[in-house]
Amino acid sequence: MAMSNTILMASAMAAVNVLLLGTLTVVWLRNYRTFGSSMIAGLVAFGAVLLLENAAAIYFFFSMQMLYSGDPGVQQVVMVLRALQMVALVFLTYVTVK
């Protein structure tokens, strides 16, 4: 069964999230090495966990399509959640890199 456009868009957003989280995690790792703050260590852990979650989502989108293919409502919710996460990460990446 082919993936719907909605799930393809959610997959693309998860891929963008992986790139943003990779950028954030690298910046935070550099800052942790410089400052050694526990707050920054928490940010590194946050970035790493969300990066793994988005990578797992991409894997499941492509390997287990049947989890999402049955219900268009579920597909839309998944896409909206990925979009919201992407917007939040764009803001966070902007202020972090700036």
Domain chopping of the chain, boundaries? 15-97
Q: What is the pLDDT of residue 14?
A: 96
d(CA 83, CA 9) in angstroms, rounded, equals: 9
Q: What is the pLDDT of residue 60?
A: 85
Q: What is the pLDDT of residue 31?
A: 97
* Residue-by-residue pLDDT tens, the chain, 98 positions: 567 888 889 999 999 999 999 999 999 999 999 999 999 999 999 999 999 999 999 998 888 766 666 678 888 998 999 999 999 999 999 999 98
Q: What is the pLDDT of residue 75?
A: 85
Q: What is the pLDDT of residue 63?
A: 81
**Cα dihedral 18, 21, 27, 28 sign:** negative
